[in-house]
Amino acid sequence: MAHVTFIVTLLVAVSTLCLSKDLSNGWNDKIKWQTLKDALKDSEETKRPVMLVIHKSWCGACKALKPKFEESVDIEELSPHFHMVNALDDDEPKDSKYAPDGGYIPRILFIYEGEVRDDLIHEGGNAKYKYYYHNPEGIVKTMKRAIEKFDLKPPSHTADEL
């Protein structure tokens, strides 16, 4: 009987692992990623903005940015100030508000109080594609502006996170 219990437990564990989705999509699994739905809900409670990364698996510019983003210690260290969302392929939200100046990719949006912020764009980037970033330095600058604008403090850790 113990043998059957072990096999059932093992099957449940394997099924859970197979069904759970890697929300990082290879963009740095040290960052706490969330679904957009969860991030928007949590953002209402915490008053921390959402940082939404929209990209496609087939996109050359996305493939070029991905390893740079993943290796950026600065992005990783600033990420706890945000609810981080990584929308790959079909996870891209369909609402037009998530394409404020077009549906190009990659685009990185900062959302506060449910609205995409038009004041948190890639300054110094292409004026036609305000939410397009090609390197971590531009992303970090915008993250720092958001932290300053909203006077964000890193979230405090709870006992179960330590």
* Per-residue pLDDT at 3: 53
Domains of the chain: 22-161 (3.40.30.10)
CA distance 141 to 120: 10
CA distance 51 to 108: 7
* Per-residue pLDDT at 22: 87
Q: Which residues pair with 54 in a beta bridge?
A: 87, 107
Q: Kindly report the pTM of this predicted structure.
A: 0.83
Strand ranges across the sheet with 33-34 = 33-34, 83-88, 50-55, 107-112, 115-116
Coil, helix or strand at residue 80: helix
For the chain of 162 residues, list the mean pLDDT of each consecutive stretch of 10.
49 39 90 97 96 98 97 97 97 97 97 97 95 97 97 65 47
* Per-residue pLDDT at 14: 40
Q: What is the DSSP secondary structure assignment for residue 51, as one 8-state letter?
A: E
CA distance 6 to 9: 5
* Per-residue pLDDT at 75: 98
